[in-house]
Amino acid sequence: MVEVVGTAPTSAMFITKFVYRRSWKSNTNNIKLYFKDSIYLLKIMLTEDQKKEITEQQNQKNITKRVISPELEKILYKAIPVLDHGFVRVVDYMGDDSSIVQAARVSYGKGTKKISTDSGLIKYLMRHRHSTPFEMCEIKYHVKLPIFIARQWIRHRTANVNEYSARYSILDKEFYLPTKQNLAAQSTNNRQGRGELINGKQADDILQILKKDAEQTYTNYELMLNEKYDGSIIDEHNKGLARELARMNLTLNTYTQWYWKTDLLNLLNFLSLRADNHAQYEIRAYANVMTESLKKWVPITFEAFMDYRIGGMELSAKGKDVIQKMLRGQPFDFEKSKLSKREWNELMESFGFKEHIK
């Protein structure tokens, strides 16, 4: 059995998953953060060399005058598993909660006077969207992820990225295959979402197709390269097709990897979009693990983020008008509200009412 590097059996890590609801979606039970054991320890294919390299990094003990984030230090460099072959590793960071305070005050010393003061300031900044002080912290991840997810992720432009180059190197023989719990049919009322689960033989058939096609296209990738994943030549008499061409035969569930660095503000933007339940499950799995690292890194900011962004909601001018009328016991109805049916229903759901318009 291959263990997650750096995780002793007794400290086996169970990554929790947030389930929350946000703006414009109903939430009959108010904001809740269900912490579930959801991502079990999958086997990450790390070579002995990779494991050794990670361990060496974890054993570094350097003395610095910079601020540190003690909880984040504990998981630094660890490969935390996501999906079937992916992982997230925090590989570097700069600053902590006090850095936000320090920048907001443009102070000469360390920001922290008292925790309570700092916490109040951070909440104030978050509430009023005074966003620049949050840009003063930076974090860097090493991520392994399927290509079709990488294509969603890269749309966040205010980050720095170095991706493993398939022009230069041969990609690993690893593809994402969903678990049966994630094999959902197309949603019937949401053009870009999932509906009910697919079960039985159809599920088996689909998984079979995905596996077979990925393996076949990868085998043909090696064949065209005239070189196997392990570097061995297939036919001494043939040339190999250029790597930049051969890669086009791979399927979109092939894993790639990258270094991804961003400031705290843009990390929060990423998480509020990608940890949202409208996001595709596969990217949410990454966002959830990264939300955990956020909590360890900047606990005060994390709390403000959960209160004002994740658990909060937005009201339109028209929506607010309806709520005000309800609060004052004034008459209100759908027609006078000028809301669309969809907006009306979303609003009612948000506040836990069942009066839907069809």
Binding to a second copy (CB under 8 A) within 296-335 occurs at: 306-308, 310-321, 323-324, 326-328
CB of 195 to a second copy, least distance (A): 7
CA–CA distance, 58 with 77 (Å, rounded to integer): 6
Structure tokens of 188?
């019937």
Q: Known catalytic residues?
A: 274
**H helix or E strand, kind and range, residue 212:** helix 200-225
Q: Which is nearer to a second copy, 37 or 275 (CB)?
A: 275
Query: Pick from 140, 228, 295, 296: which binds a second copy (CB under 8 A)?
Result: 140
CA–CA distance, 93 with 84 (Å, rounded to integer): 26
**H helix or E strand, kind and range, residue 21:** none
CB of 222 to a second copy, least distance (A): 11
Task: Work out whether 232 is an interface residue with a second copy (CB under 8 A).
Answer: no
**Sites for a second copy among residues 115-134 (CB under 8 A):** 120, 123, 127-128, 132-133
**Sites for a second copy among residues 51-70 (CB under 8 A):** 52-54, 56-68
Say if CB 80 and CB 88 are below 8 A apart: yes
User: Binding string to a second copy for residues 3 to 22, with x set by CB under 8 A, is what?
Assistant: --------------------
**Residues 141-157, buried b or exposed e (16+ Cβ, 10 A)?**
bbbbbbbebbeebeebe
Cβ-based neighbours of 92, under 8 Å, separated by 6 or more = 139, 140, 261
**Sites for a second copy among residues 160-199 (CB under 8 A):** 160-165, 167-168, 176, 178, 182-187, 191-196, 198
CB of 38 to a second copy, least distance (A): 18
CA–CA distance, 64 with 280 (Å, rounded to integer): 40
Query: Pick from 44, 122, 147, 300: which binds a second copy (CB under 8 A)?
Result: 147
Q: Which is nearer to a second copy, 37 or 345 (CB)?
A: 345
Within its chain, how far is the Cα of 19 from the centroid? 13
Interface with a second copy: number of residues (CB under 8 A)? 142
SS3 label, residue 160? strand
Query: Pick from 2, 35, 40, 92: which binds a second copy (CB under 8 A)?
Result: 92
Query: Pick from 114, 239, 354, 358: which binds a second copy (CB under 8 A)?
Result: 239
Bridging pattern class, strands 36-39 and 80-82: unpaired
Task: Work out whether 261 is an interface residue with a second copy (CB under 8 A).
Answer: yes
**H helix or E strand, kind and range, residue 149:** helix 147-153
